């Protein structure tokens, strides 16, 4: 009998490296990556009324209202691939009301990862971030430059990646992080994120492989 798939949450300030670590985690563990920010940007791109509303909050670095976010994430978590392969929830929940709603729907993570990065470094990471619209890969002009000229030429920037907006996003994060942490106290793993992305991943990798090993030893226990 196959062991239960992993269910992981990853949290941290803007540009703490959530998306970057999610790329590495999904490559190795095959979990379904569900990013609240990506779901919202897809909603904006679809031109829907919810997307239009969401953008107003994102422009101000504030949390998008629960009426828009909660069911959007729940629907994605409920899809077959997430149930079968396990999930990696990125940037959700960001408030106690979101955490409570998730619990009410029956979604409990095995591990809550918090990436901790000093604030001055976060701003530099935000401003230098670039995205490849073709592959979805995350780059940084200094820390993770594009591999080829062709990729470099097509890179884009997020509309909320200015220093001013990043500071507002950081403020929102600082206002909410303690509330969320208190809901997952017993399963929280804090990781210093001010290291190379490989070093950060090595810590996460160790934790996840230990969890899987435990499970494979005792597949019927929790």
Q: Which residues participate in catalysis according to the annotation?
A: 18, 94, 129, 158, 169
Find where tokens 């810590």 sit. Answer: 203
User: Considering only 24-32, 81-89, 92-100, 209-217, which stretch makes contact with ligand AP5 by CB under 6 A?
Assistant: 92-100
Q: Which among 96, 100, 37, 46 is positioned nearest to 69, based on CA atoms?
A: 37
Q: Which of 100, 162, 196, 216 contacts ligand AP5 by CB under 6 A?
A: 196
Find the shortest distance in angstroms from Cβ 104 to ligand AP5: 16
93 cis-preceded (ω within 30 degrees of 0):
yes
What six digits make up the tokens of 160? 């909320």
Find the shortest distance in angstroms from Cβ 210 to ligand AP5: 22
Nearer to ligand AP5, 145 or 219 (CB): 145
Find the shortest distance in angstroms from Cβ 34 to ligand AP5: 11
Q: Scanning residues 117 to 136, which ones bind ligand AP5 (CB under 6 A)?
A: 125, 128-129
Q: Which among 212, 184, 171 is positioned nearest to 113, based on CA atoms?
A: 184
Q: Which among 159, 154, 161, 160 is positioned nearest to 132, based on CA atoms?
A: 154
Residue 25 contacts ligand AP5 per CB under 6 A = no
DSSP label of 207: H
Q: Which of 33, 94, 203, 215 contacts ligand AP5 by CB under 6 A?
A: 94
The counts of H helices and E strands in the chain are 10, 7
Find the shortest distance in angstroms from Cβ 61 to ligand AP5: 5
Bridge partners of 113, per DSSP, are 10, 189
User: Considering only 1-9, 44-52, 88-96, 99-107, which stretch makes contact with ligand AP5 by CB under 6 A?
Assistant: 88-96
């Amino acid at each position: 009998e196959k062991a239960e798939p992993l269910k992981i949450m990853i949290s941290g300030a803007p540009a703490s490296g959530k998306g970057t670590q999610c790329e590495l985690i999904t490559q190795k563990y095959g979990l379904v990556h569900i990013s609240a920010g990506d779901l919202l940007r897809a909603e904006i791109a679809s031109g829907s009324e919810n997307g239009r509303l969401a953008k107003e909050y994102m422009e101000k670095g504030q949390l998008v209202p629960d009426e828009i976010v909660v069911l959007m994430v729940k629907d994605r978590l409920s899809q077959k691939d997430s149930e079968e392969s396990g999930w990696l929830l990125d940037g959700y929940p960001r408030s106690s009301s979101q955490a409570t709603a998730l619990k009410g729907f029956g979604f409990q993570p095995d591990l809550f990862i918090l990436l901790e990065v000093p604030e001055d470094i976060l701003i530099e990471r935000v401003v230098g971030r670039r995205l490849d619209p073709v592959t979805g890969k995350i780059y940084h002009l200094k820390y993770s430059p594009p591999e080829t000229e062709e990729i470099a030429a097509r890179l884009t920037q997020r509309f909320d990646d200015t220093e001013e907006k990043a500071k507002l996003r950081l403020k929102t994060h600082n206002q909410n992080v303690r509330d969320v942490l208190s809901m997952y106290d017993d399963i929280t793993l804090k990781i210093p994120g001010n290291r190379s992305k490989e070093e950060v991943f090595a810590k996460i990798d160790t934790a996840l492989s230990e969890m899987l090993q435990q499970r494979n030893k005792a597949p019927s226990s929790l």
